[in-house]
Amino acid sequence: MLSKTHSKYIQSLHHKKFRDADDVFIAEGNKVVPELVQSKRFVCTEILGTKEWLQQHEVFLRQYYNGPLEEVESFELEKISALSTPNQVLALFKKAATPAIELKGRISLVLDTIQDPGNLGTIIRIADWFGISNIICSLNSTEMYNPKVVQSTMGSLGRVNIIYTALPEWLEQHKDIRIYAAALDGKPVQQLKGIKEGLVIIGNESKGISKEILDMVNERITIPKIGEAESLNAAVATGIILSHIV
Amino acid sequence: MLSKTHSKYIQSLHHKKFRDADDVFIAEGNKVVPELVQSKRFVCTEILGTKEWLQQHEVFLRQYYNGPLEEVESFELEKISALSTPNQVLALFKKAATPAIELKGRISLVLDTIQDPGNLGTIIRIADWFGISNIICSLNSTEMYNPKVVQSTMGSLGRVNIIYTALPEWLEQHKDIRIYAAALDGKPVQQLKGIKEGLVIIGNESKGISKEILDMVNERITIPKIGEAESLNAAVATGIILSHIV
């Protein structure tokens, strides 16, 4: 049985302000929770699950986690869940320290003002698929610990280095690395092969890449359009570009 | 001012049962409504917008549409909207007749049990980007007139032929067209180039392509994984595959 105070506390973590205050975030679901529990990046501080779920997963969880396993009812999970379709398990994790990132000899993603949590989560999952270890986000990008982001990474959050920084200044400091940008005009992505090192910039869902940053780009990449759609979803564009250059 | 009866009627169209009964669907937003109004596929029967929006768009709309332009307040739109972030305009359209599709000499998409409305909408938009004119959906795929699908197509709904059919029987009838399928094992997508004709099957978000259909496939395509993510989002996979073979 979950106390009212504790239930309210977990609900407060749906909001960035309270996540920031305590340096914790929530993750939900049968897939995401076990993946993050075994990741070395985040320390799990509490797991709340239905009786059946905990029974099924206890042996696995205990390999990585010694904290409390709290049995809760489905209706209680529904109350504390940040998702429209609540799961059988919700867990609290400590946020990770800002990771050190190595740009040499690899491709890294740079996100300029990605605002949709589903898009950010999907991009993190795509990066993990293609073995991209670094994502550099502009300060006004959506927060990586937003519950919808955590959910849509499907566990990849524990395997990709993500930092938030003032992009123009950061790019200025890393001028030795070639900068590619997804744009509506540029070199067709099919012609880019075997790039071993570089930054690939993906822009905002509706406004694209900001002028200031576009001016620093070395090469524009485009996904040739054959039909009529005005644009592609930012996560889809990321997946297409990485599939061609990686 | 919107009458209570009319407001309730539009709300009822959030549900498939009522859309089916009247053969109408709703579309919302500054981008989607004008795109569908000018598409030749759907007949618009009613437009409800804020005073400002209607004033700004009246000249454009009147080129294609002679029906009522109803001025409503923002709070009224909020009530009838099917979206979490309501827009300045909502319109009703007649559903289209099932289109005739031509498979010869082109690539068509086949969706086996795509269930997330956002995914279906994004796939329709991707098809439109790559000039794919046909999408064949299994009967248990999410409905193309679901308000979230309509929203995430961003207007592409008016430019792609979509049919729903019993897939195994339909594929049996079109054995003269080569069948490709997105799978975890198969020929790397980077090696498939210049395919001029074929059906590309995309499977369910978590279960993939059903066994019965997989048995009818001529060639499996895979997106090589370099990192650790267990899977890619279905829409992202569609975009990647089309970008390589189109």
Q: Does residue A208 have a pLDDT over 80?
A: yes
* List of chain B residues whose C-beta atoms are within 8 Å of the C-beta of residue A154: 229-231
CB nearest B243 (choices: A31, A189, A235): A189
CA distance A126 to chain B (A): 7
- State the ipTM, two decimals: 0.92
Closest C-alpha to B7, from B87, B79, B86, B85: B79
Residues B46-76, buried b or exposed e (16+ Cβ, 10 A)?
bbbbbeebbeebeeebeeebeeebeebeeeb
Query: What pLDDT, on a 0 to 100 scale, did the predictor assign at position B15?
Result: 96
Handedness of CA B117, B122, B128, B133 (dihedral sign): negative
Query: What confidence category does residue A225 fall into, taking pLDDT thresholds of 50, 70 and 90?
Result: very high
pLDDT of residue A246: 87
B193 pLDDT band, cuts 50/70/90, is confident
| The pLDDT of residue B85 | 76
Domains of chain A in start order, with CATH, are 4-94 (3.30.1330.30), 107-245 (3.40.1280.10)
Contact list in A for residue B154 (CB cut-off 8 A) is 229-231
Which of A79-88, B3-12, B36-45, B109-118 is predicted with the least confidence, judged by mean pLDDT? A79-88
Determine the residue of chain B that is closest to A242 in CA distance.
Answer: B240
Residues B16-47 have pLDDT tens digits of 999 999 999 999 999 999 999 999 899 999 99
What are the helix (H) ranges across B39-178? 51-61, 74-80, 117-129, 147-152, 167-173
Nearest to A243 among B31, B231, B243 (CB): B243
Task: Identify the closest residue of chain B to A155 by CA–CA distance.
Answer: B229
Residue among A122, A223, A244 minimizing CB distance to B233 = A122
What was the pLDDT predicted at A194?
A: 80
CA-nearest of B232, B209, B149 to A152 is B232
Mutate to test the interface with A, among B123, B126, B236, B238 (most CBs of A within 10 A): B236
What confidence score (pLDDT) does residue B202 get? 97
What's the mean per-residue pLDDT of chain B?
A: 95
The pLDDT of residue B214 is above 80: yes
Q: Sorting pLDDT into bands at 50, 70 and 90, what band is A205?
A: confident
Share of chain A above pLDDT 70, in %: 100
Name which of A172, A186, A205 is nearest A245 in CA terms. A186
Which phi and psi (to 5°) does residue A11 adopt?
-60, -35
Tell me the shortest Cα–Cα distance from A138 to chain B, in angstroms.
23
Instruction: Flag whether pLDDT at A21 surpasses 80.
Output: yes
Is B159 within 8 Å of A228 when comparing Cβ atoms?
yes
Contact B228 A154 (CB under 8 A): no
> Which pLDDT value is given to residue A1?
79
Closest CA to A89 of A126, A35, A143: A35
> What span, in angstroms and rounded, lies between the C-alpha atoms of A33 and A26?
9
pLDDT band at A123 (very low <50, low <70, confident <90, very high): very high
Which residue does chain B place closest to A118, by CA atoms? B118
For residue B24, list its beta bridge partners: B94
**pLDDT tens string B137-179:** 999 999 999 999 999 999 999 999 999 999 999 999 999 999 9
| Position B84 pLDDT exceeds 90 | no
Q: What is the pLDDT of residues A163-203, one digit of tens each?
A: 999 999 999 999 999 999 999 899 999 998 789 999 999 99
> How far is A27 from chain B, CA to nearest CA, in Å?
17
Read off the pLDDT of each residue in B176-197 and give the average, rounded to a whole number.
Answer: 92
Of A31, A189, A239, the CB nearest to B236: A239
More confidently predicted of B207 and A84: B207
Chain A positions touching B128 (Cβ under 8 A) are 227-229
Are B243 and A126 within 8 A, CB to CB?
Answer: no
With 90 as the cut, is the pLDDT of residue A110 above it?
A: yes
Write down the pLDDT at residue B91.
97
pTM of the model: 0.94
Measured between CA atoms, the residue of chain A closest to residue B188 is A243
Distance CA B139, CA B128 (A): 22
Determine what percent of chain A is predicted with pLDDT higher than 90: 93
Q: Which residues contact A143 (CB under 8 A, 6 or more apart)?
A: A16, A19, A149
Q: Would you list which residues of chain B are within 8 Å, Cβ to Cβ, of chain A?
A: 31, 118, 122, 125-132, 154-156, 159, 189-190, 223, 225-233, 235-240, 243-244, 246
pLDDT score of A142 more than 90: yes
Mean pLDDT of A93-113: 96
Average pLDDT over residues A14-18: 96
Q: Enumerate chain A positions whose Cβ falls within 8 A of a Cβ in B.
A: 31, 118, 122, 125-132, 154-156, 159, 189-190, 223, 225-233, 235-237, 239-240, 243-244, 246
Residue B87 has pLDDT above 90, yes or no: no
The yes-or-no verdict on residue B86 having pLDDT over 80 is: no
CB contact under 8 A, A227 and B190: no
Query: Which residues of chain A does B190 touch, with a Cβ-Cβ cutoff of 8 Å?
Result: 243-244
